[in-house]
Structure 1
Amino acid sequence: MSALEIVNIRKTYGDVETLKGIDIALESGEFLVLLGSSGCGKSTLLNIIAGLAEATSGDVRIGARSVLGVHPKDRDIAMVFQSYALYPNLTVHRNIGFGLEMRKVPAVERDQAVRDAAKLLQIESLLERKPSQLSGGQRQRVAIGRALVRKPEVFLFDEPLSNLDAKLRMEMRTELKRLHQMLKTTVVYVTHDQIEAMTLATRIAVMRDGRIEQLGTPSEIYDRPATLYVATFVGAPPMNLLMVTARGSELQIDGSETMLPLPEGFETRPKDGQKLIAGIRPEALRLGSSGFTIPVTCEVAELTGPELVVTAFVGTQRMTACLPSRTALVDGQQLTLCFDTEAIRLFDAETGSRCN
């Protein structure tokens, strides 16, 4: 039995269809991340699961029961918002235990639940403070604690880290990962941040225009993107996309004389002269002559600290390579990049779907 099942969910506002038939089955203990740009429908879907919005059609099941039409407080879910949503006049202790207080849980039992959550989140020393006396990261821990004490079937997170600075985001990602590994809770998490998705998720649903573009593990999403959209949305720098033409057992990079090997794994082998798009991750490229090579001209080299990000031309097309930080390059320099043939992902130039 799935812990959460989303069945053909559609949502329409007037003539605008925001969700166009979403199907996801989530097993107990999974951490699902809904990933996509603003306006793709991920927060709308989360609100439908939470009961804060109604679906136009379809069903949402938690455990064995449908929860459509069930009040949010009766759905056995807990939600953590982007804005923390803490009561400013209450202490941390009362903020965490407020939901239990409203359910008339006995004071002794409530106090123990709050203290257990505070210990887990390492905020025991903050229980008597007010939210105004806390940092952003501490406030988010309190919001998570308020959800934890409920012990719900499903946790919902709506971009909970987007208000934090980069350092705090990284720390809170680690905390959330640690909590999930300890508690084995079922989580649905909304974000537009691909790093959050890749580091936290057991599965990622990449959403676009109200549809799921691809649903898979982080490694599947990254290594075998189903479409051009997924290939470019996930990865920083994004995957290189080169227009190529099939020439027998090779691929010619358009605008150059450079030939690439035709990789394996096709259901239908490309026809001679067929236009395709070859995708190669920047980190799959390296300096040297082992494997297959591409002669390029360095346009810009940017040192990020751990690596040198090189933008170069192959013929008339640009591509990016992530090289070791100590690599010495100058603008305009000719160099040879090499890669392994299994690094190539081919996409249909018309449909954008992966071919191999």
Structure 2
Amino acid sequence: MSALEIRDIRKNYGAVETLKGIDIALESGEFLVLLGSSGCGKSTLLNIIAGLAEATSGDVLIGGRSVLGVHPKNRDIAMVFQSYALYPNLTVHRNIGFGLEMRKVAAGERDKAVREAARLLQIEALLDRKPGQLSGGQRQRVAIGRALVRKPQVFLFDEPLSNLDAKLRLEMRTELKRLHQMLQTTVVYVTHDQIEAMTLASRIAVMRDGRIEQLGTPEEIYDHPATLYVAGFVGAPSMNMLNATVNAGQLAIAGSDARVAVPVRFKDAVREGADVIVGVRPEALRLASGGASEPAFPVEIDVIELTGPELVTTARIGAQRLTATLPPRTPLAKGEPCRFAFDEDALRLFDPASGKAL
């Protein structure tokens, strides 16, 4: 039995179709990230799971039980919002235990649950403080603690780290990963940040215009993007996309004299004269060693950016651009011609008309 099952969920606002048939099944302990840009429908889907919005059609099952029409407090879920939503006049202890207090849980049992959550979140020393005395990261820990004490079947997180600065986001991301590994709870997590998705998820649902563009593990999403949208959205820097034409068993890169052999695994997927888009990740590129048999793109260096651990290099290949992430001490200069080599397995081909991977 799935911990959470979403069956053909659709949501209309008048004539506007926000969700266009979402199907997902989560096993107990999975960490699903709904990833996409603003307006793709990810928060709407989360609100339907939580009971804060009604689906136009479809069904949501938690623990095998349909929860459509069930009040949010009876769905056995706990939600952490982008805003901390803490009571400013209550101590951290009472904020964490407030839901249990409303359910008439005995004071001793409530105190034990609050202290256990505080221990897991490493905020035991803050229990007597009020929210106004806490940092943003501490407040977010309190909000997570309030969800933890509920011990629900499913945790729902709606962009919980977006209000934090970069350093705190990294710390809280690590904290959430540690908690999930420890508790093995089922989580649905909404974000537009692909780094959060890649580091936290056991599976990622990349959403676009109310649909799931691809559902898979972080490795599947990153290494084998199903569409051009996924390939471009996931990855920083994003995957290089080069327009090309199949010509005599080679990929002729548009606007240049560059030619590379069509990888064997694509021989049956492409036809002579067909237009394709060649995808290759920046980290899959390296400076060519000079071997004639080594597949490579001839380029001219345009921009060099040292980030510390890597050299982000933008080059021109004809009228198109190609980005490579190279070792930080790579000897390069603007305007210098060179060759970026790659392994054949690193190439991805896409149909420019449908946007789908070949």
- TM-score (norm: length of structure 2): 0.98
Shift of 1:248: 2.7
Pick from 310, 314, 322 the counterpart of residue 311 of structure 1: 314
Pick from 278, 294, 297 the counterpart of residue 294 of structure 1: 297
Name the CA distance, whole Å, in 2 between partners of 1:31 and 1:238: 24
Pick from 306, 322, 327 the counterpart of residue 324 of structure 1: 327
Q: In the alignment, which residue of structure 2 is the partner of 1:69? A: 69
Q: In the alignment, which residue of structure 1 is the partner of 2:166? A: 166
Secondary structure at the residue paired with 1:214?
Answer: strand
Q: In the alignment, which residue of structure 2 is the partner of 1:280? A: 280
Secondary structure at the residue paired with 1:260?
Answer: strand
Secondary structure at the residue paired with 1:265?
Answer: helix
Q: Which moved more, 1:337-346 or 1:247-256?
A: 247-256
Structure 2 spans left out of the alignment, 5+ residues: none
Q: In the alignment, which residue of structure 1 is the partner of 2:156? A: 156
Q: In the alignment, which residue of structure 1 is the partner of 2:131? A: 131
What is the identity percentage for the equivalent residue pairs of Structure 1 and Structure 2?
A: 75
Pick from 343, 347, 353 the counterpart of residue 344 of structure 1: 347
Pick from 342, 352, 357 the counterpart of residue 354 of structure 1: 357
Aligned pairs for 1:113-128 (under 5 A) are 113-128=113-128
Q: Which moved more, 1:246-255 or 1:65-74?
A: 246-255
Q: Which moved more, 1:151-160 or 1:293-302?
A: 293-302
Post-superposition Cα deviations, 1:204-225, rounded to whole Å, max 9, x if no partner, equal: 0000000000000000000000
Q: In the alignment, which residue of structure 2 is the partner of 1:46? A: 46
Post-superposition Cα deviations, 1:99-154, rounded to whole Å, max 9, x if no partner, equal: 00000000000000000000000000000000000000000000000000000000
Q: In the alignment, which residue of structure 2 is the partner of 1:79? A: 79
Q: In the alignment, which residue of structure 2 is the partner of 1:179? A: 179
Q: In the alignment, residue 350 of structure 2 is paired with which amino acid?
A: F
Post-superposition Cα deviations, 1:273-319, rounded to whole Å, max 9, x if no partner, equal: 10000000000000123531111000111111111111101111111
Q: Which moved more, 1:104-113 or 1:256-265?
A: 256-265
Secondary structure at the residue paired with 2:272?
Answer: coil
State the aligned residue count: 355
Aligned pairs for 1:206-221 (under 5 A) are 206-221=206-221
Name the CA distance, whole Å, in 1 between partners of 2:124 and 2:307: 38
Shift of 1:267: 8.4
What RMSD, in angstroms, separates the aligned Cα atoms of the two structures?
0.9
- TM-score (norm: length of structure 1): 0.98
Q: Do the aligned partners of residues 140 and 65 (structure 1) sit closer, same or farther apart at CA in structure 2, a change above 3 Å counting?
A: same
Name the CA distance, whole Å, in 2 between partners of 1:27 and 1:53: 23
Post-superposition Cα deviations, 1:137-186, rounded to whole Å, max 9, x if no partner, equal: 00000000000000000000000000000000000000000000000000
Q: In the alignment, which residue of structure 1 is the partner of 2:99? A: 99
Name the CA distance, whole Å, in 2 between partners of 1:341 and 1:52: 48
Aligned pairs for 1:220-231 (under 5 A) are 220-231=220-231
Name the CA distance, whole Å, in 2 between partners of 1:263 and 1:24: 34
